[in-house]
Amino acid sequence: MAEPYRSSTLEARRAQMFPILGNEEIARMRRFGAVRHYAEGEYLFETGKPSPGVFVVLSGTMRVGGRDGHGNDFTITELGAGEFSGEVGQLSGKRAFVDGIAISAVEAFLISPEQLRALLIVEADLGEKIMRALILRRVGLIETGAGGPVLIGSPVSPDVVRLRGFLMRNGYPHSLFDPASDQDAKVFIDRYAPRPEDLPLVACSDGTVLRNPSERRLAECIGMLDADVEDFVCDVAVVGAGPAGLATAVYAASEGLSVIVIDARSFGGQAGASARIENYLGFPTGISGQALAGRA
């Protein structure tokens, strides 16, 4: 097995990333979930597949981990009674970045994305604890690149910079292997990209290998465009996910309206690419555009 998952956020804020819920908190959450049982060795969720939601462990132990870009196993943590799985992607039923495997018989209750959103609203103080954990876990995944696509190419390549910028602005974990210093990356290129114009390569979590893809093709491969809205009628459509568009969506949703936000590239709009926004209300020392959009 490879070296354990390492993240500066994990090391500094483990108690917030993986809080242990008390019996009273678990009792308040039960009405939002349904009890499930899993045998030793059974998967609760798998990398690259849509996650059914958040699991709150009642008994037994679950291992959360996956495989890195070299195919080595890594472990993030083990969850026992009173702990829960998931990161912010579970709010919208996105694909899982990691595996959840029962290492002993597990009893847990599953909270679906819809019920998770309801829980965050109804149980405000408990929801704050859960939301903080889900956000910090995504931050940890981004720091390590765990579970996301693997880019293979030179870090100074314009197309590598283009694809990395797209992933970073969308808050998506990924890793980069440089064939100049990584033998496995060189072997991978020899197999899949005999022509220079095929670089960079992108290996998605489902095993698909893309050759110098467009941002849209990459988004399709990694599940960013999984949402099926063809038959969905919403009250408000917001075009442009900059600060104004995000604020509009938040306040429209707070009034009970169903909202969809559309952007050609990433949340945050033009502001999301700003290194520093100064004199913004509530941030007297300034804040980066990506951090502001991420909070929104």
Calculate mean pLDDT across residues 108-116.
Answer: 95
Domain boundary among the residues 76, 111, 144 is at 144
Beta strands in the chain (DSSP E): 34-38, 43-45, 54-59, 62-67, 73-79, 99-102, 106-111, 150-152, 175-177, 201-203, 209-211, 236-239, 259-262
Express each pLDDT in 133-191 by its tens digit.
999 999 888 888 888 899 999 999 999 999 999 998 888 899 999 999 988 888 888 88
How many CB atoms neighbour CB 146 within 10 A? 24
Task: Name the one residue in this structure whose structure tokens are 């941030």.
Answer: 283
How many structural domains is the chain composed of?
3
Domain extent at residue 240: 236-295
Q: Are 135 and 16 in a shared domain?
A: yes
Q: What is the pLDDT of residue 2?
A: 45
Domain boundary among the residues 144, 164, 192 is at 144
Express each pLDDT in 192-209 by its tens digit.
877 888 999 999 888 889
Express each pLDDT in 200-251 by its tens digit.
999 988 888 999 999 999 999 988 876 565 677 889 999 999 989 999 999 9
Q: Is residue 3 part of a domain?
A: no
Q: What is the pLDDT of residue 186?
A: 87
As a whole number of angstroms, the distance between CA 113 and CA 222 comes to 19
Q: Are 95 and 195 in a shared domain?
A: no
Q: Residue 283 is encoded by which pair of tokens?
A: 């941030």
Q: Residue 184 is encoded by which pair of tokens?
A: 């496995």
Q: Is residue 283 part of a domain?
A: yes
Cβ burial, residue 154 (10 Å; 0-12/13-18/19+): middle
CATH number at residue 210: 3.40.30.10
